[in-house]
């Protein structure tokens, strides 16, 4: 059992964490979380069904894990990888293309975060654990802020001193009573508002995030066909959007997105596309959403006459009702 906070912090850093902090069970925590998520429900109810159906679990993370005596919160960057996504059809001059966010070209952050957490768990000798990396009903951002890991940025992400808003978060619930890690005084988010200004859809404002206008949400989390309005909001996004996080002046190394030829992607057999995205962050969204987004980009970047021609080309290629309805929603 680790009783020394400095040793725990050094252990986490050695395992690959940029920063680490500890949250202990607190009777006041559920009420604070319920208050925050009630605001979410007021603005976004129905946008993310898993939040609606798991709200009680989200707002009482220790109550639903009575064995857990601490939650270790880490921030990390997924390491670079020789991404198979670079085998997707490259953009060609004169043809509509879409972007895949740079973070998707790294190792899948779900995998990287879990690997770091399991390494930490083995080193501290935990016998019962639960790892959470952007999957499952866990309020990662709120736990990170409660732990003092960073401050809330206007784009609703956690701002870390020296890392901006681009770091991923991961949570390790453990049966060990971990010591609180002393968090050194660090500058809060400077609230320069560059993240708000970078959002081309104006999904961010002083009131917070309008998730239904967010390109990252539309491209990777919204299920079902896209209306014409949603297709216009998607613009040229195939998967993910990091504009608001990379706009942060503390982001040490903004990376470039990958541009992909949309029609050529639609012409790829689904089995081949599934193999190509396997092991990447896109795998969690799947081939249907990726092809649906390609269809949307083609539609919004074409004239009415071009759309009529594209319908004849694309409809035979895409049996998915989600994709076909997205095409039918073209004006």
Intra-chain end-to-end CA distance of the chain, in Å? 63
Q: Which single residue is written with the structure tokens 């707002």?
A: 59
- Cβ 311 vs Cβ 324: under 8 Å: no
Q: What is each CA distance from 265 to 8, 14, 295, 314, in whole angstroms?
A: 46, 40, 10, 11
Average pLDDT of every residue of the chain: 93
122-167 pLDDT per residue, tens: 999 999 999 999 988 999 999 999 999 999 999 999 999 888 998 9
Going residue by residue through the chain (331 aa), what tens digit of pLDDT does each one get?
A: 677 999 999 999 999 999 999 999 999 999 999 998 887 777 777 887 878 788 899 999 999 999 999 999 999 999 999 999 999 999 999 999 999 999 999 999 999 999 999 999 999 999 999 999 998 899 999 999 999 999 999 999 999 988 899 899 999 999 999 999 887 666 678 889 999 999 999 999 888 889 999 999 999 999 999 999 999 999 999 999 999 999 998 877 767 899 999 999 999 999 999 999 999 999 999 999 999 999 999 999 999 999 999 999 999 989 999 999 999 999 9
What is the model's pLDDT at position 161? Answer: 83
Query: What per-residue confidence (pLDDT) applies to 254?
Result: 67
The 3-state secondary structure of the chain, one letter per residue: CCCCHHHHHHHHHHHCCCEEEEECCCCCHHHHHHHHHHHHHHHHCCCCHHHHHCHHHHHCCCCCCCCCCEEEEEEECCCCCCCHHHHCCECCCCCCEEEECHHHHCCCHHHHHHHHHHHHHHHHCCCCEEEECCCCCCCHHHHHHHHCCCEECCCCCEEECCCECCCEEEEEEECCCCCCCCCCCCCCCCCCCHHHHHCCCCCEECCEECHHHCHHHHHHCCCCCCCHHHHHHHCCEEECCCHHHHCCCCCCCCCCCEEEEHHHHHHCCHHHHHHHHCCCHHHHCCHHHHHHHHHHHHHHCCCHHHHHHHHHHHHHHCCCHHHHHHHHCCC
Strand partners, 129: 174
Which strands sit side by side in the sheet containing 237-239, from one edge to the other?
A: 237-239, 97-100, 258-261
Q: Which domains does the chain have, with CATH numbers?
A: 5-79+108-174 (3.40.109), 84-104+192-328 (no CATH)
Which residue, among 156, 147, 226, 254, has the nearest Cα to 196 in the 3D structure?
156
Asked if residues 294 and 282 have their Cβ atoms less than 8 Å apart, the reply is: no
Q: What is the pLDDT of residue 187?
A: 67
List, for residues 182-192, the tens digit of each pLDDT value. Answer: 876 666 788 89
The reported pLDDT for the residue numbered 222 is 95
Summarised one tens digit per residue, pLDDT across range 207-238 is: 888 999 999 999 999 999 999 999 999 999 99
90-95 long-range contacts (CB < 8 A, ≥24 apart) are 90/259, 90/260, 90/261, 91/259, 91/260, 91/261, 92/261, 92/264, 95/261, 95/262, 95/263, 95/264
Does the predicted TM-score (pTM) go above 0.85? yes
What is the reported pLDDT for 226?
Answer: 98
């Amino acid at each position: 059992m680790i009783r020394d906070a400095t040793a725990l912090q050094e252990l986490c850093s050695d395992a690959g964490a940029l920063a680490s902090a500890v949250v202990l069970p607190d009777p006041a925590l559920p009420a604070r979380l319920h208050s925050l998520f009630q605001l979410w429900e007021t603005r976004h109810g129905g946008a993310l069904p898993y939040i609606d159906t798991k709200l009680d679990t989200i707002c009482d993370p220790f109550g639903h894990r009575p064995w857990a005596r601490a939650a270790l919160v880490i921030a990390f960057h997924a390491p670079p990888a020789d991404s198979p996504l670079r085998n997707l059809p490259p953009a060609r001059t004169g043809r509509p293309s879409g972007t895949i966010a740079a973070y998707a070209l790294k190792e899948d952050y779900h995998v990287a975060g879990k690997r770091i957490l399991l390494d930490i768990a083995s080193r501290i000798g935990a016998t019962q654990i639960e790892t959470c990396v952007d999957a499952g009903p866990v309020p990662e951002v709120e736990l990170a802020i409660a732990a003092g890991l960073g401050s809330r940025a206007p784009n609703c992400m956690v701002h870390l001193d020296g890392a901006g808003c681009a770091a991923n978060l991961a949570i390790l619930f453990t049966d060990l009573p971990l010591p609180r890690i002393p968090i050194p005084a660090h500058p809060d988010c400077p609230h320069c508002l560059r993240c708000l200004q970078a959002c081309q859809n104006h999904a961010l404002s002083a009131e917070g995030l309008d998730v239904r206008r967010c390109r990252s949400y539309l491209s990777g989390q919204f299920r079902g066909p896209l209306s014409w309005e949603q297709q216009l909001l998607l613009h040229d996004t195939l998967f993910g959007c990091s504009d608001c996080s990379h706009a942060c002046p503390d982001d040490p190394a903004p990376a470039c997105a990958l541009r992909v030829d949309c029609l050529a992607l639609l012409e790829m057999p689904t089995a081949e596309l599934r193999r190509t995205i396997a092991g990447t962050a896109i795998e969690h969204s799947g081939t249907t959403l990726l092809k649906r987004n390609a269809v949307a980009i083609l539609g919004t970047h074409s004239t009415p006459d071009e759309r009529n021609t594209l319908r004849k080309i694309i409809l035979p290629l895409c049996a998915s009702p989600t994709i076909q309805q997205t095409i039918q929603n073209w004006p």
